[in-house]
Structure 1
Amino acid sequence: MSSNERVKKRKFAAPHAFVIIFGLVVFLALLTYVIPAGEYERTTNDQGQTVVVDGTYQQVESNPTGFLELFNSIHLGMLEGAAIIFFIFIVGGSFNIFKETNTIEAAFGSISGRFEGKEIWIIPITMIFFSIAGASFGMFEEALPFIMIMVPLLIKLGFDSMVGTAAVLVGVSSGFTAAFMNPFTLGVAQGIADVPLFSGLSVRVVFYIAFTLVSILYVVHYARKIKQDPTKSLTYEEDSQRDLNVELEQTSMNLGQKLTMVVLGLTLVTLAYGVIEFGWYMTEIAGIFLIFGLLVGAINKWSPNRIAESFVRGCSDLVVGALVVGLAYAALVVLQNSNTIDTILYGVTNVVSEMPGMLAALGMYLTQGVLNFIVTSGSGQAALSMPIMTPLSDLVGVDRQTAVLAFQMGDGISNIFAPTSGLLLAALAMAKISWWKWFKWIWPLILIHYALGAIFVTIAHLFIWTS
């Protein structure tokens, strides 16, 4: 055996996404034999939200995950995550129709000269747009289709798929985490905490600006490095194999491609209007993009068969990413069926209640951070934790506004990091980036975000919302 062959054999191979997630599911299943089962009573509040009743926790009969139940959880997780899984397929298939019209290449060829030397500005502009959307009307899932636009565009502009994904995902997550008007997190949490809706606006806007600015600087710093030397990209090999190597000889779009861009613009405007005015969610968004795909095919004079075949190719490219979402939901199924989620909540709140007042706010922040690895829904986590955190904050001398801030920061940061986040996995599936490579790129920013969250919560507790 040659020395080169030995090196290749010893080279670390990043684990497949299925291996990572299934390993996590197995670990949680083993924990169900250690963590006692328990549950809180639940009730429906005036807003129609199902919330836990503080002080009602009691242990129940243990129900650890058995051998067959472990594997059953995979199927149940797929069912639990079906809305996201099929959202990925429909949007991915529809965007493949758009992609195969070569409209992106034609559009880039016609405007590339105007961006020469100024390409970097697209990144902060994009991130600011999405962060405002996340901070105001709670955009998160709705941003996912934009990844399929930004990734090829920014690759063509000399960056990589990591930058294209981050421009959307880190941007919208920054706003969602440090939101000042998000009805799904801030609104729900303040309603349960019985403080005026969207109060503390000026303080939250300052925190939002700082959080978003740091995120933009991180992404732009990496983007500049890739622009100077593309081989430093973490996704250099994958991006070089993407079907983007079309020669940009076409300096103007033909009529079909121009109409395609018009339909794309109208689709995005309709999407934004529907989300804001009518509360559209995944089902409606998937329907809109399916209409978009069919219209694009018709405009470009494709036959029904060609449209269907292009749609299927788009779906097939996303099979692994879509199924990973279902695997992630299996982790939640294991904890729900074993009645251990409430026990985890009960345990961490007991720890917080024993902390001195100065550290109690940080304890709440850490608690919410842990819970978000288990309950990745922002409104769901608010309904689970805030009925307990609210009276606890009164008990330990933490203002309720600070408790809400601790929830926001703890809930939002890991949404673009946790392997249990179905939305993150959906985004990475659309971008065709492995979770492992994303982790290697994002972890320094996540540490910065957690540090910022701790600083914000501490400042709020000691100097702004003092009890």
Structure 2
Amino acid sequence: MSEQKESENNLNPDKPKKKKFTMPHIYVILFIFIILASIATYFIPAGMYDRVPGPEGRETIDPNSFQHVEQTPIGIIDFMTAIPRGLIEAGEIVFFTFIIGGLFAVIKKTGLIEIGVDKLTRRFSHNSIMVIPVLFILFATICGLIGTQELSLVYVPVMLPLMIALGYDSIVAAGVALLGTAAGFTTGFLNPVNTGLGQKISGLPVFSGIELRLIAFVVFIAIGLTYLLRYAQKVKKNPKASLVYEDDTEKRKQYLEKSETGSPRKANTRQKIASVFILLFFCLLIYGVITQGWFMIEMAGLFILMGVAVGRISGLNFTEICEGFNDGFREVLIGAFIIGVARAVAVVMEDGMVMDTIVNSLGSLVGELPAVFGAIGMAVVQMLFNFLVPSGSGQALVTMPIMAPLSDLIGVTRQTAVLAYQFGDGIGNLLYPTSGYFMATIALAGVSWEKWVRFYLPLFFMWFGAAVVILIIAQVIQWT
């Protein structure tokens, strides 16, 4: 039968072929979201909560102050300027992405990345798969302690050449960084960004209930790591099974072929000194993040100094360093721009004053659920809201003042409500194109959003299933 169909097609070459569905460009998808958000401002009643001082001097909402206000739907000028304003509001992460790209392009020019990759590739050539669990668990633990998912942006430029040289692909490189940090951030056993802040707002002792969070941490790592290892082994066995096989062609030429030929690469004296300085800079970075509250602006400033210092010590002149930064800027340009376009969705919702109305409605919806499903409903609501406000701390300040007292009314402990927020926030971060650090990370890895979604979606449902089971257990034991 198939031969007959093939002969018919050969006899009728002009016969139109069925067009295969292709995912629209990410700009198109985000633009559609902006249009839908703008239309929604005409139909969703405008409303607002009063803002009051919250933990650590941050502004939060008064959960009892919601009131409807005059409708302010998005006009032509507001719609027209949404993307530029999105870029301005997301400026911190946009420029952080540029600086990260520039820094690693400079380090690449020094030859240090190639030397490091060559050494690691030769060391793990007979057991390359072990690199993945070691780094995955390390990244998860770091994020479980300090909660900085944005460090994925630092990890990926190092992971990419290593994973390609070991015979894997760009998705494995991005997966080690993103899935590892997501597992640690989502369960956040000592994470001040989501766990600590969520508990402060909910009136709970900070980092209480750590035992169940540690169990969740192990469960999420086990599921995520198993999933990534299976994909990595499949790619290692058959490179054409990679979702990004065509996209990685140039990377394979650059890293894989070089690692398979030639004698071991050795660092000269200047490069050895520069390597020590890189280590010192990263120690300073960790110190600043943990003890001084450094975030993207401070880290970006440090990375500029790091690029200049390491470049000069390695023997690059100032022109070469500047060109290195320019090369890096070009490599991450699309990813950085996507971050600003994605932010435009929230800009439109805030301008139309419907963001608080959505929060109030979602909270009311959870309040209608039976107690046994209350915590699950909270996780779903947090996940939906995460599309609009992908910032963990930002989401906590908006939703937890509502969810904490609501949990008392529906028979869910406040500890469980915080965990539901963590699950809803963390899992969605690696799916939504409005998540800035995530889009920037896959841009650095050279992985399109559509292909990442094809890879991540099965794991998303696995992790959500695990979250549901853990929340049910927390509800049954009335975890406090």
The aligned counterpart of 1:298 is 312
Q: 1:65 maps to which residue?
A: 74
Cα gap change, 1:325 to 1:8, in 2 (>3 Å): farther
The one-letter amino acid of 2:322's match is: A
Q: Which residue of 1 aligns with 2:361?
A: 347
Mapped to 2, the partners of 1:122 and 1:456 lie a distance apart of 29
Tell me if the contact between 1:38 and 1:342 (Cα under 8 Å) persists in the aligned partners.
Answer: yes
Which range moves more in the overlay, 255-264 or 118-127?
255-264
Query: Is the 1:109–1:250 contact (alpha carbons within 8 Å) kept by the matching residues of 2?
Result: no
Offset at residue 109 of structure 1 (A) = 3.0
What amino acid sits opposite 1:58 in the alignment? Q
After TM superposition, give the deviation of residue 280 of structure 1 in Å. Answer: 1.3
User: Equivalent of 1:287, from 301, 305, 320?
Assistant: 301
Cα distance in 1, alignment partners of residues 273 and 22 from structure 2: 45
Q: Does residue 141 in structure 1 map to residue 155 in structure 2? A: no
Quote the Cα distance in structure 1 between the aligned partners of 2:133 and 2:187.
17
Match of 1:218 among 227, 249, 254: 227
SS at match of 2:28: helix
In 2, distance between residues paired with 1:12 and 1:99? 38
Structure 1 unpaired stretches of 5+? none
Measure the CA separation in 2 of the matches of 1:310 and 1:116. Answer: 30
> Is the 1:142–1:281 contact (alpha carbons within 8 Å) kept by the matching residues of 2?
no
Question: 1:394-405 alignment to 2 at 5 Å?
Answer: 394-405=408-419
Distance 2:18 2:77 in 1: 35
Does residue 229 of structure 1 match 2:238?
A: yes
Matched to 1:323, the amino acid is F
**Matching of residues 147-158 of structure 1 within 5 Å:** 147-158=156-167
**Which residue in the other structure is 2:98 paired with?**
89
The normalised TM-score by structure 1 is 0.95
Q: Corresponding residue for 1:244?
A: 254
CA contact (8 A) 2:202 2:401 kept: yes
1:337 is matched with which residue: 351, 374, 385?
351
Distance (whole Å) between structure 1 residues aligned to residue 254 and residue 309 of structure 2: 23
Can you list the C-alpha shifts for 1:419-462, whole angstroms capped at 9, x where unaligned? 11111111112111111111111011111111111111111011
- Cα deviation for residue 8 of structure 1 reads 8.5
User: Residue type matched to 2:277 in 1?
Assistant: V
State the alpha-carbon separation in 2 of the partners of residues 203 and 58 from structure 1: 37
Specify the alignment match of 1:454 in structure 2.
Answer: 468
| 1:281-316 superposed Cα distances (whole Å, 9 cap, x missing partner) | 111211222122212321232222122112111111
Structure 2, unaligned runs of 5 or more: 1-8
1:207 to 195, 216, 219: 216
Cα distance 1:19–1:464, how it changes in 2: closer, same or farther (>3 A)? same
The one-letter code matched in structure 1 to 2:41 is: T
Would the aligned equivalents of 2:387 and 2:434 in 1 still touch at CA under 8 Å?
Answer: yes
Name the CA distance, whole Å, in 2 between partners of 1:446 and 1:46.
31
- CA shift, 1:271, in A, is 1.5
Distance 1:4 1:14 in 2: 27
- TM superposition shift of 1:259: 3.2
Counterpart residue identity of residue 304, structure 1: F
Q: Which segment drifts farther, 65-74 or 144-153? A: 65-74
Residue number in structure 2 paired with 1:275: 289
- 2:396 is the counterpart of 1:382: yes
With normalisation by structure 2, the TM-score equals 0.93
Q: CA, structure 1 residues 40+309, in 2 after alignment: closer, same or farther (shift >3 Å)?
A: same
Q: Secondary structure at the match of 1:43?
A: strand
RMSD, matched Cα = 2.0
- 1:357 equivalent in structure 2: 371
State how far apart, in whole Å, the 2-side matches of 1:447 and 1:103 are. 39
Tell me if the contact between 1:159 and 1:226 (Cα under 8 Å) persists in the aligned partners: yes
Q: Paired residue for 1:175?
A: 184
Pairwise CA distance, 1:269: 2.1
Q: Give distance in 1, aligned partners of 2:39 and 2:369.
A: 29
- Asked if 1 retains the 8 angstrom alpha-carbon contact of 2:117 and 2:161, the reply is no
CA spacing shift, 1:295–1:447, aligned 2, 3 Å: same
Match of 1:54 among 36, 41, 63: 63
Classify the secondary structure of the residue corresponding to 2:258. Answer: coil
1:186 corresponding residue in structure 2: 195
Contact 1:106–1:250 (CA under 8 A) maintained in structure 2? no
**Distance across 2 between alignment mates of 1:163 and 1:218:** 11
Alignment: residue pair count? 466
Structure 1 residues 110 and 425: alpha-carbon distance in aligned structure 2, compared to 1, 3 A threshold = closer
Residue in structure 1 matched with residue 40 of structure 2 by the alignment = 31
How much has 1:101 moved relative to structure 2? 2.8
8 Å CA contact retained: 1:402, 1:465:
yes
Counterpart of 1:151 in structure 2: which amino acid?
A: L
Residues 391 and 110 (structure 1 numbering): CA distance in 2 closer, same or farther, change over 3 Å?
A: closer
Equivalent in 115, 128, 137 of residue 128 of structure 1: 137
User: CA 1:50 to 1:121, structure 2 compared with 1: closer, same or farther past 3 Å?
Assistant: same
Identical aligned pairs, as a percentage? 38
Matches of 1:274 and 1:5 in 2, distance apart?
65
Distance change >3 Å, CA 384–CA 110, structure 1 → 2: closer
Give how far 1:6 is off: 7.8
Cα separation, 2, equivalents of 1:69 and 1:25? 11
Change (3 A) 1:309 1:465: same
Deviations 1:63-107 (A, max 9, x none): 111233112110100000111111111110111111123333233
What is the CA distance between 1:250 and its match in structure 2?
A: 4.1
Is 1:254 the equivalent of 2:267?
Answer: yes
Counterpart-to-counterpart distance in 1, 2:334 and 2:397: 32
- Separation in structure 1 between the aligned mates of residue 148 and residue 369 of structure 2, nearest angstrom: 35
1:49 to 1:99, Cα distance in 2 relative to 1, 3 A: same
Quote the offset at 1:240 in angstroms. 1.1
